[in-house]
Amino acid sequence: MTTEKTRYTDEELEEFRQIINEKLALAKRDYDQMMRVLMNQDSNDVDDTSPTYKALEEGSVAQSKEEIISLAARQQKFIQGLKAALVRIENKTYGIDRITGKLIPKERLRAVPHATLSVESKMAGKK
């Protein structure tokens, strides 16, 4: 009689913790960089005093800032997902599909370490 594995071992969880911590560090770095751009902290520009291009440039700058704000919001959500995954590792509930209760394949977790659904559950939810 073969019993189905219901959770990942402590060694496997440690592997996932390392993956998540690496992704979290990169995500935080990218988020901080976006925020510096939004706050003009990385700017070494000299304000253009020519009124001819000013209106066009301001529109472009506004659009760029909107895009960065959108990206920063997505990045913040990603960071929260990674932090939640670390909590699940601590609780030893990491890698368990929240719909089926079965283990999410390691390959998926390595690619999307904050996943809470297997590909099958995710696709079933989109129907």
> CA 27, CA 30: separation in Å to the nearest integer?
5
Can you tell me the mean pLDDT for 32-61?
Answer: 67
> CA 95, CA 93: separation in Å to the nearest integer?
6
Q: Say what the pLDDT of residue 112 is.
A: 96
Q: Is the pLDDT of residue 13 over 70?
A: yes
Confidence of residue 50 (pLDDT cuts 50, 70, 90): low
Burial of 104 (0-12, 13-18, 19+ CB in 10 A): buried
CA atoms 57, 63, 67, 73: torsion sign: positive
Question: Across all residues in the chain, what is the average pLDDT?
Answer: 87
Q: Say what the pLDDT of residue 59 is.
A: 66
Can you tell me the mean pLDDT for 47-61?
Answer: 58
Q: Say what the pLDDT of residue 108 is.
A: 96
Burial of 112 (0-12, 13-18, 19+ CB in 10 A): middle
> CA 31, CA 103: separation in Å to the nearest integer?
31
> CA 89, CA 2: separation in Å to the nearest integer?
25
Can you tell me the mean pLDDT for 35-46?
Answer: 72
> CA 118, CA 82: separation in Å to the nearest integer?
16
Q: Is the pLDDT of residue 116 over 90?
A: yes
Tokens 């000013």: give the residue: 54
Amino acid, single-letter form, for residue 43: S
Residue 103's SS3 state is strand
Q: Is the pLDDT of residue 29 over 60?
A: yes
